[in-house]
Structure 1
Amino acid sequence: MRLCLAFALLIAGSAAAAEPSTALDYDPDQFEIVQGVFCEVPTTGRSEAPGTVAGHVDLFAEVPEFQWLTNVVPAVPGLSFGVKTTARDGMVYDGVVLTLTHPAFRDSGATAQSYVTMLGGASTSINAYTFDTQEELAPGIWSFTATRNGRVLYSALFEVVPPSAAPEIANACGGMPLS
């Protein structure tokens, strides 16, 4: 399991898929937000995150580009998906709790993970998840929710589907789809 944060310079911080209007909820006066999927990229370090299955989140040197602007994610090892945020006013939002909920993992039974992060500032940040182990390939609805002082900053839904339901993405990252 790899939850990822991007650091640019210092910090930058099956069923039918959910409709775009319900897949992403946020205040557009406060943030610009986009969700999507990308092939795994190298990480440059990690930060402790005891509320996650792995106990840490990995860090990117730069914010990865989404290769697909979608909330449909095939369950393929090495595939990453997440949410990019840019604060419209350049404000730094520290002490943000990012909570990821998902169907129960086969081995651990985990259904939620969380860590504290920062959003905003002068550049775009990303909160993403990469499928690293077989147990993480759990089809169903996954959600990213960012809260600060008890207030939801954003919520994004993703639908993780079998590779055959999104073959153009499943086959694109060099991995073989699982059967």
Structure 2
Amino acid sequence: MRAARALALLAALAGPAAAEIRFDPAVVTGLRAGLWCASDTGERQEAPGTVSGYIDLVADPVLRRATEMVPLSSGTTFGIEATFASGVSGTAQVIVTHPPFGGSGETRQAMNPHPAAGRAIAFYTFDYPHEEVAGAWGFTLLLDGREVARAAFEAVEPRPGAMPLVGCGAPELLS
């Protein structure tokens, strides 16, 4: 009984969980996932596989919190950074899956393919209210069409009175 109470107390104090991630270590040597901050470069790139048809380019990404919990709030940015193993080549692409968007019903967005070298970074930012959809979100990294890494997230309503992450605008999930 004491052990059960102790475990329950530890679980209550644990805070947000790290994003559920998996990857093929022969291809990807590391995968970081969670809430990010990045500088907007002001540049856009066409991305026909996305709902908007473009992506905003960013610089200097910083992982602010490794978590699977994503607060539904305008400006929240979340996603992955994968590091490719030395000598890996081919075409990399990230697919983002999410609950249906209001209006369009879209559930899948494909980022532009690019050469697999160094690292792959893919983020999603809640820019519009119709994007703020609660539920399971996933980022899948493909290499030549084969899944080599995946991170799962859960988008949730932010806690009342939550404070923003410093410099990001994404509400904290903990007080």
SS at match of 1:66: strand
1:106-145 map, 5 Å: 106-118=102-114, 120-122=116-118, 124-145=119-140
Aligned amino acid, residue 47 of structure 1: Q
Unaligned residue ranges in structure 2 (runs of 5+): 1-15
Determine the structure 1 residue equivalent to 2:153: 158
- Name the structure 1 match of 2:82: 85
Assess, with a 3 A threshold, how the Cα gap between structure 1 residues 51 and 130 changes in structure 2: closer, same or farther.
same
Larger C-alpha radius of gyration, 1 or 2?
2
Contact kept? 1:104, 1:138, Cα under 8 Å: yes
- Shift in Å, 1:61: 3.1
In 1, Cα distance between the equivalents of 2:133 and 2:38?
18
Per the TM alignment, residue 87 of structure 1 is displaced from its structure 2 partner at its CA by: 1.1
The match for 1:27 among 24, 46, 60 is: 24
Aligned identity (percent) is: 34
* 1:47 alignment partner, SS class: strand
Query: Does the CA-based 8 Å contact 1:74-1:165 persist in structure 2?
Result: no
Which structure exhibits the higher relative contact order, with contacts defined as CA atoms closer than 8 Å and separated by 6 or more residues? 1
Residues 81, 121 of structure 2: 8 Å contact kept: yes
Q: What TM-score do you get using the length of structure 2 for normalisation? A: 0.76
Q: Choose from 31, 46, 49 the match for 1:48.
A: 46
Q: Which amino acid aligns with 1:160?
A: A
How many residues align? The count is: 155
In the superposition, relative to structure 1, how do residues 128 and 93 fare at CA in structure 2: closer, same or farther (>3 Å)? farther
CA RMSD of aligned residues (A): 2.8
For residues 148-167 of structure 1, the C-alpha deviation after alignment (integer angstroms, 9 at most, x for no partner) is: 33311211111101011893
